[in-house]
Structure 1
Amino acid sequence: MVLENGFLIQTVDGITEEMFFDLCQANRDLRMERDQYGNITIMSPTGMSTGNFNAEFLFEVVLWNRETQLGYVFDSSSGYTLPNGAVRSPDVSWIAKERWEGIPEADRKVFTHTYPDFVVEIRSESDRLKELKAKMEEYRTNGCRLGWLIDRKGKAVYIYRANGDVEIVKGESVALSGEGVLPGLVVEVGL
C-alpha cells in the first residue's frame, strides 16, 4: 500500500471486474478507480468550493442536454470500464444517445464497457496535474472525442480532441465550446 498526495494506491492481483464493482458498491462512501494494470486508487473528497464548482458545471451540461436531447449526462459516481480495462469516473461525462441506447441493459447497471464521448475532469486542491493529464490522454486514446481538464489552481483549461491535439486556454474567464461533439454547448468558466 502506498499513500500518495491523499490517495491510497493499492495493487490487487487477480481482482475481477465483478469483484471490483462489488468492492465499490460495498464502500459507496469511497470514490475508487482502477487503472489498466489493476492498481486501485481511493480518492479523497473534494473541498466545498470544488464541489460547488463541479455541481454548477454539471448543471450547465445537463441543461444543454435537456434542450437538445442528444445524449446522456453522467456525474462523478458513474464508472466506465474503458477498452484498455481501466475503470474511470470522470467528474462530468456524456455519451451520445445512439451509443448509450445501443449498450445492453445489463451492462448499464455496472461499470459500463464503453468510453464517454465527452469528459470533464476538474482539478481539486489535492489532485496532481500530471496524473490528470495522463487520465485525459487515456480517455482520448480509448475513444473519447472531446475532453476538458479544468485547472482552476493554474487558471488554465486543457482541451483534448480526438485527433490528438491539446489546446491550452488561460485566463480568469474562459468560454468553452462543445464543438461538433456537443453542438451548441457553450460554458463560461471562471477560473
Structure 2
Amino acid sequence: MNTNLPVATEIIPMVLQLQPAMSTTGYAYALTDDQFYEFCQLNRDFRIERNAAGELVIMPPTGSESDQHNFDVIVQLGIWVKQDGTGVGFGSSGGFTLPNGAVRSPDAAWIKRDRWEAIPPERRKKFAPIGQYLKYQLALEEEQPERLLYLAVPLDTYRSFFTLELPRLLIQRYQVRLIVFDPEEEAIVKWQK
C-alpha cells in the first residue's frame, strides 16, 4: 500500500486576538509593553511577536533551508558589524518595538551604535524602540544627498498600518520611499517612490 501524505510547505503563524476580551488596561493594546514582555519571558519556548493591532503572533519554527539562509545572513552581518565597528548587530531572537507599537523579531538587524546607546539601558533590556526612519532620512540628506533612502516594510505591516489615513499622509508629506516585502516568499512585493 502506497500512501502519499500532503506536506505542508507554508509556515503560518498563530494569531491570538485579545481585544475586546482583555481590554481592561486603558491602553491601546490588551497588554501593556511591560505585561507583554513578562508574558514573553514566561513563555520563552515560543517566538511571540505583537502586531500593530495588538494581536499576539506566535511564530512557528522556520524550515531548515530558510534557517540555513538566515544563518548565512547573520554570519555575514556579524562579520561586517565587527569590521565596520559603527553599530551593533542582533540575531533572530531579539524583539524590537516599532513606531506603530508592534514588537517584531527580525531575522537579523543592525543599529548604529550612537542610536543604540541613546536608548535608555532599561529599555534596551526589554524590546528596544527602533525605526527612526525620518531621522536617518534627514541625516542622509545632509551628508549624502545623492543617495536615496527606502523604508523596508513587511507586507503584513504595510497592509495593517501603512494603508491607514495618517500613515499615508505622513508618507506623502515626508516623501517616504517604501520597499514592501513578503518575508515568507522572500520577495519584494512593491516599490513605492
TM-score w.r.t. the length of structure 2 is 0.62
Percent of aligned pairs sharing the same letter: 33
1:6 aligns with 2:16: no
Q: Which residue does the alignment assign to 2:131?
A: 115
Q: Which residue does the alignment assign to 2:46?
A: 30
1:51 aligns with 2:67: yes
Gap change, CA 1:106 and 1:66, over 3 Å in 2 = same
1:57 positional shift: 0.8
Counterpart of 1:103 in structure 2: which amino acid?
A: I
How many residues of Structure 1 are paired with residues of Structure 2 in the alignment?
145
What is the CA–CA distance in structure 2 between the aligned matches of 1:75 and 1:116, rounded to whole Å? Answer: 20
Gaps of 5+ in 2: 1-9, 23-29, 137-152, 171-175
CA deviation profile, 1:89-137 (whole Å, cap 9, x unmatched): 111111111100111111110011222779xxxxxxxxxxxx9423368
The equivalences for 1:1-191 within 5 A come to 6-12=12-18, 13=22, 14-115=30-131, 132-135=154-157, 149=181, 156-157=187-188, 164-165=192-193
What is the CA–CA distance in structure 2 between the aligned matches of 1:22 and 1:152, rounded to whole Å? Answer: 28
TM-score w.r.t. the length of structure 1 is 0.62
What is the CA–CA distance in structure 2 between the aligned matches of 1:35 and 1:104, rounded to whole Å? Answer: 23
What is the CA–CA distance in structure 1 between the aligned matches of 2:182 and 2:84, rounded to whole Å? Answer: 24
Does the 8 Å CA contact 1:8/1:41 hold for their aligned counterparts?
A: yes
Gap change, CA 1:62 and 1:145, over 3 Å in 2 = farther
Counterpart of 2:85 in structure 1: which amino acid?
A: Q
SS of structure 1 residue aligned to 2:15:
strand
Gaps of 5+ in 1: 119-130, 166-191
Does the 8 Å CA contact 2:155/2:181 hold for their aligned counterparts?
A: yes
Gap change, CA 1:151 and 1:30, over 3 Å in 2 = closer
Q: Which has the higher strand share?
A: 1
What is the CA–CA distance in structure 2 between the aligned matches of 1:146 and 1:67, rounded to whole Å? Answer: 29
Gap change, CA 1:29 and 1:61, over 3 Å in 2 = same
Does the 8 Å CA contact 2:11/2:62 hold for their aligned counterparts?
A: no
What is the CA–CA distance in structure 2 between the aligned matches of 1:66 and 1:104, rounded to whole Å? Answer: 23
Which is greater in Rg?
Answer: 2
CA deviation profile, 1:61-91 (whole Å, cap 9, x unmatched): 1111110101111111111111221111111
What is the CA–CA distance in structure 2 between the aligned matches of 1:66 and 1:79, rounded to whole Å? Answer: 21
Does the 8 Å CA contact 2:92/2:106 hold for their aligned counterparts?
A: yes
Q: Which residue does the alignment assign to 1:179?
A: none
Counterpart of 1:18 in structure 2: which amino acid?
A: D
Gap change, CA 1:103 and 1:153, over 3 Å in 2 = closer
